[in-house]
């Protein structure tokens, strides 16, 4: 598991103030920790990245970012009265990066 505490969130001028900023920060962090993690969507297909983030300009020349994070439910937690996000299995056991904090 990539252990995390709220004390690790950026502060000062880098402070996260919206869910969108938090989502982007989390995706960048997961991508930095798991750049080669893959899964196979269907038997016979090649592996796909579990975490990806791409930037592109759309038809209106607006720079956009697309985040994709493929998570897995932990089947050992099924049937427990837990929130959905508490039933997610970790991608890896890598420690969180200090460069994403403070």
The whole-model pTM stands at 0.85
Tokens for 87, please give them: 């039933």
pLDDT confidence tier of residue 31, bands split at 50, 70 and 90: very high
Domain regions of the chain by residue span: 18-96
Tokens for 79, please give them: 């049937």
What is the pLDDT averaged over residues 53-57? 96
What is the pLDDT averaged over residues 79-100? 90
What is the pLDDT averaged over residues 67-84? 94
Inter-residue contact 100 to 28 (CB < 8 Å): yes
Mean model confidence pLDDT for the chain: 92
For residue 33, the model assigns a pLDDT of 92
Q: End-to-end alpha-carbon separation of the chain, Å?
A: 21
Please report, for residues 8, 10, 17, 21, 42, the alpha-carbon distance to residue 14 in angstroms, rounded to integers and kept in the order given.
12, 5, 9, 10, 40
Q: Which residue has the higher pLDDT, 34 or 95?
A: 34
């Amino acid at each position: 598991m990539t252990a995390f505490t709220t004390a690790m969130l950026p502060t000062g001028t880098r402070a996260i103030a919206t869910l969108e900023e938090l989502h982007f920060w989390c995706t960048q962090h997961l991508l930095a920790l798991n750049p080669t993690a893959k899964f196979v969507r269907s038997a016979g297909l090649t592996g796909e990245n579990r975490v990806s983030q791409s930037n592109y300009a759309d038809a209106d020349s607006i720079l956009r970012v697309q985040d994709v994070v493929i998570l897995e439910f932990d089947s050992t937690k099924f049937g427990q009265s837990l929130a959905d996000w508490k039933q997610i299995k970790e991608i890896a056991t890598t420690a969180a990066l200090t460069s994403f904090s403070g």
